[in-house]
Amino acid sequence: MNETTTTLPLPPGNLGLPIIGETISFLQDPDFADKRQEKYGSVFKTNIFGRPTVIMVGSDANRFLFANENKYFIATWPPSTRTLLGSGSLSMQLGDVHKSRRKILSQAFQPRVLASYGITMQEMTRRYFQQWEKMETFTWYPELRKYTFDVACKLLVGTDKVADSHLEELFEDWCNGLFTIPLRLPGTKFNRAFRSRQLLLQEIETIIRQRQQQPSSGQDALGLLLQAKNDEGNQLSIEELKDQILTLLFAGHETLTSAIASFCLQVAQHPDILSKIRTEQAQFDFSQPITFEDLKSMTYLEQVIKEVLRFVPPVGGGFREVIQTCEFQGYCIPKGWSVLYQISKTHQDQNIYSQPEQFDPDRFSPDRAEDQPKPFSWVPFGGGMRECLGKEFAKLEMKLFAALLARNYEWELLPEQNLDLILVPTPRPRDGLRVRFQVLKKPDGVFTPPGN
């Protein structure tokens, strides 16, 4: 910091009421940032979750924030999120501890390991499709949540059949408290979420203790954490292990459920896009499992998935704490304040994307590549040293799911349902996406057997 920085003006905006600031409108008004951006520009101040906060919109803001991690900014979350994640969570860890835990965990997401997840993911996906085929009409969102949770449990902690247990319901209550005012009063969302956290930790401890009995712990995330040593050469504490697994199970399914549901919704509403996906899929031998090489050559599907993550990013933005006063676009960003970078607003920026309000996978075709001119224009997974650890895992699961779905099934949105999105904690259609799900009839009337 130098003297010039501190004499610069603060960003425009309104700090709202004492303590509560503008938290209520932030949580309830989906146009909160739009309205202020219109009035004040792309950098403005507010007061949310008990702290003065600068909201920054756009690819330059993203770059500034990601490049200055640990210099001007450190990760932080609102008090409700911090309490529910726990101090041992990767998302809460800072500095060297964060670096060392990230290094350990990233081994569970290396290409070699991901390639070994591919077959299990496909088997599990096919099993869920067969169940849905029998159900025929149903509400998809809760089913998708079971599916992604089952996959996360199997591949990240090596546990089978967790989807049958009540863990998943506990997670739902826990998630609903993530962005709330942290009042531990009976009946509040936060209170319910806090109770769920305690029950989840008990269940996770049982899973960890069982794994500790097994001599070879394997290469999944839990196995790696069990073998890891901290700086003093000791094993990680059970308290940290529980928080780390809680974060991974949450991050490993909640965002993916939202992303996959958005794919299903958008593609159902754009039959032309579905037919282009099917044309691309037709070049593969459906009787063989999908390989990594196959996935790489599905370039149109890649564009569709990229557009889904642009259009409805599962994470709307991320918080940081300012640890050193700095300057951005002529404004002073004071130490002790929070900063919120905006994924969804960056993805709606007309300076980056043409007609951003339209769902158009061709914007990512090699000749248009609208996200390329400016770095950090497409940031569904964040960026820099806090970039999503599960990015490749998420893309793998989305792509396999989408390819198998388009090859073998048709799905139709049932009438009279509310498709408006609930945005917090992750976007999902208000009525949960009600569909009719059937095996795809080939044009000659021959059914494609499921699993082929």
- Does an H or E element contain 262, and which? helix 254-269
Cβ at position 44, least distance to ligand HEM in Å:
20
170 versus 259: smaller Cβ distance to ligand HEM: 259
**Least distance to ligand HEM, CB of residue 285, Å:** 28
Closest CA to 47 of 26, 29, 21: 21
Minimum distance, C-beta of residue 363 to ligand HEM, in the bound complex (Å): 18
CA angle at 397 for the pair 393 and 400, rounded to the nearest 5°: 135
Q: What is the 3-state secondary structure (H, E, C) of 37-55?
A: HHHHCCEEEEEECCEEEEE
Residue 252 or 425 having the CB closest to ligand HEM = 252
- Residues in touch with ligand HEM (CB under 6 A): 75, 90-91, 102, 156, 247-248, 251-252, 255-256, 259, 314-315, 318, 380-382, 386, 388-390, 393-394
* 361 vs 380 by CB, closer to ligand HEM: 380
Q: Which residues contact 282 (CB under 8 A, 6 or more apart)?
A: none
Q: Which one, of 79, 73, 27, lies nearest residue 51 by Cα?
A: 79
Minimum distance, C-beta of residue 407 to ligand HEM, in the bound complex (Å): 21
Burial of 256 by CB count in 10 Å (0-12 exposed, 13-18 middle, 19+ buried)? buried
Give the nearer residue to ligand HEM in terms of CB position, either 34 or 69.
69
Element (H, E) at 74: strand 73-75
Query: Cβ closer to ligand HEM: 180 or 247?
Result: 247
- Closest separation in Å from C-beta 387 to ligand HEM: 6
C-beta separation of 77 from 62 below 8 A: no
The C-alpha atoms of residue 75 and residue 443 are separated, in whole angstroms, by: 53
Shorter beta-carbon distance to ligand HEM: residue 83 or 255: 255
Least Cβ distance, residue 348 to ligand HEM (angstroms): 16
Question: Least distance to ligand HEM from the beta carbon of 272, Å?
Answer: 24
The nearer residue to ligand HEM, 113 or 435, going by C-beta atoms, is: 113
Q: Which amino acid is located at 250 in the chain?
A: F
Helix 271-281 and helix 299-311, axial crossing angle in degrees, nearest 10: 150
| CA atoms of 191 and 290, how far apart (whole Å) | 44
d(CA 175, CA 84): 9
| Nearest alpha-carbon partner for 65 in 381, 341, 346 | 341
The residue of the chain with the least Cβ separation from ligand HEM equals: 390
C-beta closer to ligand HEM: residue 384 or 450: 384
Nearer of residues 177 and 314 to ligand HEM, judged by Cβ? 314
We find the least distance from the C-beta atom of residue 438 to ligand HEM, in angstroms, to be: 27
Note whether 178 and 254 are within 8 A (CB): no
Rounded Cα distance, 207 and 201, in Å:
10
Residue 260: CB minimum distance to ligand HEM, A? 8
Residue type, 307: E
Question: Whose Cβ is closer to ligand HEM: residue 100's or residue 188's?
Answer: 100
The amino acid at residue 392 is E
* Closest CB 319 distance from ligand HEM, rounded Å: 7
d(CA 327, CA 146): 45
